Structure 1
Amino acid sequence: MMASLQRWINEVAAPEHEAAEPDLRLATAVLLCEVVRSDYRIEEVELGLMREQLQQQFQLSGEQLDELMIMARQEAESAVDHHRFVRELRDHWGYDRRVDLIQQMWALAWSDGDKDALEEHRIRALADLLHVSHSDFVRTRMVEQNRAAIRNSDD
């Protein structure tokens, strides 16, 4: 795993790509990680859901998922801003796929049973940067809020 991580770091740091473009998997993982860490509490239930979301989207092996989760966390913690990740997704994904990503963010925010105002603020900012309409921002929030309410009523 460390050899793969080092290989990836070397590729990103290659001189021919001074400002190397992130791949779509890393861009997605970093933005999801931003939501997970936005309330200053990283909870296992959130990390587990994030892992599931990435697995479903990209069909990665367990080792690849581990690497992606580590890289995403490192990028989220060290990046000055996340515009390069947002731009990558905005440039390569259609509108519906970006809306789906916002819905995944809401699922993460509600996964621990409670949405924090800081999570909502971060999702709102990312939705704006991803050019997702306010109506879709609200609609996806309501879908995930209702799912959380159903989950909590079953407990």
Structure 2
Amino acid sequence: MLDKIQRFFQQTLADPGNDTDTSTATLELATAALLFEVARADYHLDERELALLREQLGRRFSLDAAALDELMQLAGEEAEQAVDHYQFVSLIKQHYGYASRCELVRMMWTLALADGEAHHLEEHRIRRLADLLHVSHSDFIRTKLQAQDAASEG
């Protein structure tokens, strides 16, 4: 399985223009892996977080159940195996505009709050990823407040 993931990234990063579908699939995997990183940052994968992650990915990428299952599995494995976030972050920065990167940070906050608490390790991970994604501190705070407001309403 790890070989499959590595080939997937190597093919796309070696020739980013080779295939739109592959590029999109890799972008989906990069996004899912970063979100998965946030969900597991506190060393506890809560069922509410996993359910929300699945919902977020399905909504964002309009995936059917089988594709969503595969994406969740690959993202979990990739997040477990990754030494750093460079491959994910660089791909996202290349394909997402600033507003989309802010939306991704908001999704991270929503995911971190899904279990009813914002663990300090989750906040640290989101802050680090927001910095790597070149999301300003003010937008980092704005997305956090948006997610907290949504969590308190729902």
- TM norm. shorter chain > 0.5: yes
Identity %: 50
**In structure 2, how many angstroms separate the alpha carbons of the residues matched to 1:51 and 1:122?**
20
Deviation at 1:92, TM superposition (A): 0.8
**In structure 1, how many angstroms separate the alpha carbons of the residues matched to 2:104 and 2:11?**
27
Are positions 1:40 and 2:43 aligned together? yes
Matching residue of 1:64? 67
Are positions 1:30 and 2:24 aligned together? no
1:18–1:102 Cα change, 3 Å: closer
Deviation at 1:18, TM superposition (A): 9.5
Deviation at 1:147, TM superposition (A): 1.9
TM-score by length of 1: 0.85
**In structure 2, how many angstroms separate the alpha carbons of the residues matched to 1:103 and 1:86?**
16
1:18–1:142 Cα change, 3 Å: closer
Cα RMSD for the two superposed structures:
2.3
AA matched with 2:123: E
**In structure 1, how many angstroms separate the alpha carbons of the residues matched to 2:43 and 2:101?**
25
CA deviations on 1:104-144 (whole Å, 9 max, x unpaired) are: 00000111111000000000000000000000000000111
Point out the structure with max Rg over C-alpha. Answer: 1
**In structure 2, how many angstroms separate the alpha carbons of the residues matched to 1:123 and 1:18?**
26
Gaps of 5+ in 2: 17-22
Gaps of 5+ in 1: none
Are positions 1:13 and 2:7 aligned together? yes
Deviation at 1:48, TM superposition (A): 0.6
SS in 1 for 2:35: helix
Matching residue of 2:76? 73
Dislocated runs of 4+, deviation >4 Å = 18-22
